Amino acid sequence: MFEDKDYLMKMIKEFTISLGKIMGLKAENKIEESQEALNDTLKYVTELNIEVIEALPYDILIHKVSGNRLFNTGKHLMLGELLIQQADIFEIKGEKSRAKNLYWKSLNILINIFLCGDALASEEDKSRIDELIEKIGWFNLPNESKLSLFQYYELTNKYAKAEDVLFDLIKTTEVNQDILTKGIDFYERLINKDPDDLEKGNLPMDEVSEGLATLREYQKKQ
């Protein structure tokens, strides 16, 4: 176990140095040099090349970089950041669709870290998630990702944002019992919270009650 920890700490140290180099070259508009450094770092952290990373779904990527552990937060955080750096380079080159694909994968990976409740996730990682959502727009995400975002917003006490994503899911999919049940459960959890906490999450108690009543009416019509 100590060998694994030492190895991870060594990897994080080398990753931090490499990330600084990548960002520095990118800032100097040395895009090809930045790409070469990024390729080397991706290979070191993931043992995968960019073509494979672009092709694999984010959940398979998570599994691939975890090694023998069920969940390897350190590597996942590094992967998420490297995908953002690669997406930035694609944007600079005008390869918008490739950039969007990697921004989306990074967002899913970072959200997944929080949903798994790992203590290594930090306020800085929350800020990174906010930046990605602002860049790509959550309404453009696939429904599976929207559902994860809904759960993430509740977990981080952003109740009004969670409600926005929930009702978008209801509007953009065939209303089904699974989504309705998750929504009703969400409101029932909020009903039991301190009203002050709800106010901080921009969703006062009267709006919680209204949302719960609305979903129960939807459910009756199914």
The answer for residues whose C-beta is within 8 angstroms of residue 35's C-beta and 6 or more apart is 89
pLDDT for res 3: 44
Rg of the chain over CA atoms, in angstroms? 20
pLDDT for res 40: 94
3-state secondary structure the chain: CHHHHHHHHHHHHHHHHHHHHHHHHHHCCCHHHHHHHHHHHHHHHHCCCHHHHHHCCHHHHHHHHCCCCCCCHHHHHHHHHHHHHHHHHHHHCCCHHHHHHHHHHHHHHHHHHHHCCCCCCCHHHHHHHHHHHHHHCHHHCCHHHHHHHHHHHHHCCCHHHHHHHHHHHHHHCCCCHHHHHHHHHHHHHHHCCCHHHHHHCCCCHHHHHHHHHHHHHHHHCC
Q: Which residues of 141-164 are buried (b: 16+ CB within 10 A; e: fewer)?
A: beeebbbbbbbbbbeeebbebbbb
- Please choose, from the candidates 195, 163, 164, 46, the residue with its C-alpha nearest in 3D space to the C-alpha of residue 106: 46
Q: Where are the domains of the chain?
A: 1-136, 139-222
Q: Provide the Cα torsion 132, 134, 137, 139; round to 10°.
A: 110
Q: What is the pTM of this model?
A: 0.88
Q: Could you read off the pLDDT tens digit of each residue along the chain, which spans 222 residues?
A: 444 667 778 888 999 999 999 999 999 999 999 999 999 999 988 888 899 999 999 989 988 887 655 457 888 899 999 999 999 999 999 999 999 999 999 999 999 988 887 656 678 888 999 999 999 988 888 888 999 999 999 999 999 999 999 999 988 776 578 899 999 999 999 999 999 999 999 999 999 999 999 999 988 877
Residue with tokens 């429904």: 143
Task: Read off the tokens for 204.
Answer: 């006062």
pLDDT for res 119: 56
The one-letter amino acid code at 18 reads S
Cβ pair 54, 101 in contact under 8 A: yes
Task: Read off the tokens for 38.
Answer: 């990024």
Residue with tokens 């039991």: 192
pLDDT for res 168: 93
pLDDT for res 1: 43
